[in-house]
């Protein structure tokens, strides 16, 4: 399915747009998210490192500043890149991000949480998100706790399809 058709499907969804994006390094996760068209007023890119390749109208924010701006994020495309480095279960940052996910339906935010492996995703995030965009990855699902076991099966099925693909940038979209 072409990328534009997928985006149309996601855009027509009546759910809010909260995405888990999973894939190993170099599979196109961040590029995919940055290229996803949006009607949001602002893109806020949250990371733990310096990034210089953003549009001049976008905001690049170090995760340590998240507490200061979290209550003001409205009608934004919010990208949490490489979350495993700073969204650690029960940390202050984790609690702030969880609050952003819960309030996103009322603040009209589109949120993307980018991880390298399903194993890195906090269990409670699965129930707060609407879609998983899964790229090629090295996830070991044996120790991952899912609120819905059918989701585990969908991820396994998507991983099997991706393993068979010769396309490094192949992905599957799973509705949660």
Q: Is residue 5 situated within a structural domain?
A: no
Q: pLDDT higher for 157 or 4?
A: 157
Q: Give the position of tokens 């393993």.
A: 163
Computed over every residue of the chain, the mean pLDDT equals 85
Q: Is residue 6 situated within a structural domain?
A: no
Q: Is residue 9 situated within a structural domain?
A: no
Q: pLDDT higher for 36 or 50?
A: 36
Residue 13 has pLDDT above 60, yes or no: no
Express each pLDDT in 44-67 by its tens digit: 989 888 666 666 667 888 898 999
- Looking at the chain, how many residues does it have? 176
Number of domains forming the structure of the chain: 1
pLDDT band at 10 (very low <50, low <70, confident <90, very high): low
**The domain that contains 67 carries what CATH number?**
3.40.50.300
Residue 1 has pLDDT above 90, yes or no: no
Residue 15 has pLDDT above 50, yes or no: no
Distance CA 97, CA 101 (A): 6
pTM for the full predicted model: 0.86
Question: Tokens representing 158?
Answer: 């998507």
User: What's the pLDDT score for residue 62?
Assistant: 86
Sheet holding 110-115, edge to edge: 59-62, 42-47, 76-80, 110-115, 18-22, 131-135, 171-175
Q: Is residue 80 situated within a structural domain?
A: yes
Structural domain of residue 53, as residue ranges?
Answer: 17-175
| DSSP-H helix ranges across 43-166 | 66-69, 92-107, 123-126, 149-164
Q: Quote the radius of gyration of the chain (alpha carbons, Å).
A: 15
DSSP string, 10-38: HHH-SS--EEEEE--TTSSHHHHHHHS--
Helix (H) or strand (E) holding 5: helix 3-12
Q: Give the position of tokens 């490094």.
A: 168
Q: Is residue 134 situated within a structural domain?
A: yes
Please say whether the dihedral angle defined by the alpha carbons of residues 174, 14, 38 and 71, taken in this order, is positive or negative. negative
Average pLDDT over residues 69-84: 92
Express each pLDDT in 80-139 by its tens digit: 999 998 998 889 999 999 999 999 888 999 999 999 999 899 888 988 899 999 999 988
């Amino acid at each position: 399915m072409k990328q534009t058709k997928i985006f149309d499907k996601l855009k027509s969804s009546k759910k809010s747009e909260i995405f888990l994006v999973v894939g190993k390094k170099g599979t196109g996760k961040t590029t995919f998210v940055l290229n996803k068209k949006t009607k949001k007023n602002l893109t806020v890119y949250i990371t733990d490192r310096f990034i210089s390749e953003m549009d001049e109208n976008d905001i690049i924010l170090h995760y340590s500043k998240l507490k200061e701006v979290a209550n003001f994020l409205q009608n934004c495309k919010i990208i949490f890149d490489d979350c495993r480095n700073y969204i650690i279960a029960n940390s202050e940052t984790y609690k702030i991000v969880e609050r952003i996910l819960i309030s996103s339906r009322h603040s009209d935010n589109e949120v993307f949480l980018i991880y390298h492996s399903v194993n890195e995703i906090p269990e409670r995030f699965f129930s707060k998100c609407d879609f998983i965009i899964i790229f090629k990855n090295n996830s070991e699902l044996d120790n991952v706790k899912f609120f819905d076991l059918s989701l585990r099966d969908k991820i396994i099925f998507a991983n099997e399809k991706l393993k068979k693909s010769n396309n490094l940038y192949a992905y599957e979209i799973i509705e949660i």
